[in-house]
Amino acid sequence: MTMPKQPAPGATVTRIVAPGDLLLDVPVGLPGNTGRAGLISATFAPSTLSMAQPLRPKVRHDDLPKFASQRRADWWAELPSLVSDAVTLRGLRATDAGALVSVLGSPSVEAYISPGPATPDEARGFIDWTHRAREAGRYICFGIVPEGLTQPVGLFQIWPLEQSFRTAEWGFALGHRYWGSGLFMESARLVADFAFDDLGTARIEGRAAAENARGNAALRKLGAEPEGLLRRCFECTGGVVRDHILWALLDDDWRRVRPTLFR
């Protein structure tokens, strides 16, 4: 689980041509990204966003990746809300910026990730990027909004590791006040259902720092299997370099485990 790293003033912005010639100016170290989302990784400098966003042609459906299943049509145009009795997962809004800075900047949350947005302006830059990356069909980000609240207390994300979402990676960050509350498991259920049922995903990969006992236990409980130790693969907040455990959740695993977890 990683967070956006902000470059020094004057850092350049790398442009990546996405489906439909949609130009993306992408933050390095997305919240939850482990550096392997190569199609959507580049340098990010919020102060240069207005300069690096020329008028872009509209994305044509024929230009977007072809997915195995599209029961939620046009998610790239408008992200659907995933709703249960306990939580709503929805796209991020500009008004969420302050909440993201507060939640993602907590020392407890930052322990195993890279630094998140430090200011509301940086957070708004990130939120704007999530919309543009989604419109290109390359990235999905949900804010986690518990029942009774209006702003997110965490994030859940998915990005493809192939041309389609057949193999995808997910990442998450949740405010420490909600650890152990069941909110993560309920949110993971909604995201996994969306991935396997609507995106046509067959394999979801995820990473957690080897020392992150809570995160690894949660992935195991979801039915994921550990597939390897990635030694000294990620630099976290404070310059600490950590090993990661690579987990994979297959669609067959999910169909087997889901009925036992959620009745």
Which two three-digit tokens encode residue 76? 């790239």
- Rounded to 5°, angle at Cα 110 from 147 and 160: 75
φ and ψ of 181, to 5 deg: -90, -10
3-state DSSP assignment of residue 3: coil
Do 200 and 69 touch, CB atoms closer than 8 A? yes
- Whether 132 contacts 94, CB under 8 Å: no
| Tens-place pLDDT, residues 223-239 | 999 999 989 887 776 77
Per DSSP, the three-state class of 42 is coil
pLDDT at 83 over 90: yes
Per-residue pLDDT tens for 184-234? 999 999 999 999 999 999 999 999 888 888 889 999 999 999 999 989 887
Tokens, residue 139: 């990235």
Q: Which domains does the chain have, with CATH numbers?
A: 69-261 (3.40.630.30)
